[in-house]
Structure 1
Amino acid sequence: MRKITAGLFMSLDGVIADPQDWHFPYFDDAMGAAVDAQLGSADTLLLGRVTYDSFAGAWPGREAEGGPDAPFAKKLGDARKLVVTHEDRDFTWRNSERLTGELTTAAAELRNGSGGDIAISGSVSVVRQLLAAGLLDELHLLVHPIVVGKGERLFENGTTIPLRLLSSETFGTGVLHLVYTKDDTAPSGSYEDAKTHLAQEQ
């Protein structure tokens, strides 16, 4: 079975909107390696329309320019790109096509098919739907030590989704790289259970 992973830049107060306005000062070699491991190693990218348009408007040019980011741009260009959109449109970035069918059904079919990992970057609507459907194998959150104070947040629709922490790493910039998966055996309990763990007077 293929693995579906998603990567998001997030502020300390949970904002994922407009990371280009606040996250670049924290981008270092460690973050570059984390992004490459999650996104650059996949052979298929699953992208929402807005994220796709942003990527398609930037990465082909960066690949052509041959700068330091050209090898990563080539990886993205070589990957199969499936775009979640209701629009019938032509795609100019190579290896790009529209995802056919309903998102969760199509994602499940991709996940059960052959090939390498399927990666998502940004595309918050896609991430939310796959999380809710239990189809997201890994959620990579790069939590930055900054309070943005405004903008869309990943978790803001009121849905409770238990998650299990797979790994955590602290970069030198103070960014936390947290990797979660769905938790099918989430704990339960009440205050009556919790209070037994409070410090007791001697």
Structure 2
Amino acid sequence: MRKITAGLFISVDGVIEDPQDWHFPYFNDEMGAAVDAQLGSADTLLLGRATYDGFAEAWPGREQEGGEDAPFAKKLGDARKVVVSHQNLELTWRNSEVLKGGLVEGVAALKAEQGGDIGMSGSVSVVRQLLVAGLLDELHLLVHPIVVGKGDRLFRDGSEEIGLRLLSSQTFATGVLNLVYTRAETSATGGYDEAKAHLAQ
């Protein structure tokens, strides 16, 4: 079974909208390596329509320009790109296709295929749905030390309660936390009666 990993830039107050407006001051070699490990190592990218459109507008040109980010742009271009959309799209970026069937059924079939990891970036509505459906294997959160104060958040009011288990954590020199979670197999239980035993005496 293939593994699906999703990477998101997120602020301390949970904002994931328009990261280009606030996250670049924190992008250093450590973050670049983390992004490459999560997204650049995948042989398939699963992208929502809006994320795909943004990537397809930017990355092919960066690959052609041959700048410092051209090798990463080529990785993205060479990867198979599966786009979540209910519309018939004309996909201009090479190796691109529309996900077949409904989201849950289509992604389950994609996971069952032969191949390497499936990487996601952005595509927050898809991430939410896959997490609820139990199809997302790892959630990579790059938590930036900034309060954005407005914008869409990863988990909105009224979201379903989902237990997570921390797989790894790393603190970058910029203060960014690189946190990797998976779904917890069981929900945490307990109340104050259990917690008070751990208070300092």
Under a length normalisation based on structure 1, what TM-score does the superposition of the two structures give?
0.97
Q: Secondary structure at the match of 2:169?
A: strand
CA offsets 1:68-111 (integer angstroms, 9 cap, x no match): 00000000000000100111011100001111111111111111
Q: 1:199 is aligned with what amino acid? A: A
| Residue in structure 2 matched with residue 149 of structure 1 by the alignment | 149
**In terms of mean alpha carbon deviation, does 168-177 or 110-119 score higher?**
110-119
| Residue in structure 2 matched with residue 194 of structure 1 by the alignment | 195
Q: Secondary structure at the match of 2:149?
A: coil
| Residue in structure 2 matched with residue 183 of structure 1 by the alignment | 184
What is the deviation of 1:64? 0.4
CA offsets 1:151-196 (integer angstroms, 9 cap, x no match): 0000114210000000000000000000000101232112221122
| Residue in structure 2 matched with residue 50 of structure 1 by the alignment | 50
Q: Give 1:49-198 correspondences, 5 Å limit.
A: 49-156=49-156, 157-198=158-199
- Paired residue total: 200
The runs of 4+ residues in structure 1 deviating greater than 6 Å are none
Q: 1:36 is aligned with what amino acid? A: D
| Residue in structure 1 matched with residue 16 of structure 2 by the alignment | 16
Q: Distance in 2 between matches of 1:56 and 1:128?
A: 23
Under a length normalisation based on structure 2, what TM-score does the superposition of the two structures give?
0.97
Q: 1:51 is aligned with what amino acid? A: T
Q: Distance in 2 between matches of 1:102 and 1:86?
A: 9
Q: 1:133 is aligned with what amino acid? A: A
Q: Distance in 1 between matches of 2:80 and 2:183?
A: 26
| Residue in structure 2 matched with residue 34 of structure 1 by the alignment | 34
Q: Distance in 1 between matches of 2:97 and 2:110?
A: 14
Name stretches of at least 5 consecutive residues in structure 2 with no aligned partner: none
Q: Distance in 2 between matches of 1:16 and 1:71?
A: 26
Q: 2:11 is aligned with what amino acid? A: S
Q: 2:189 is aligned with what amino acid? A: S
Q: Secondary structure at the match of 2:33?
A: helix
Superposed CA RMSD in Å reads 0.8
Q: 1:159 is aligned with what amino acid? A: E
Name stretches of at least 5 consecutive residues in structure 1 with no aligned partner: none
Q: Percent identity?
A: 74
Q: Distance in 1 between matches of 2:84 and 2:196?
A: 46
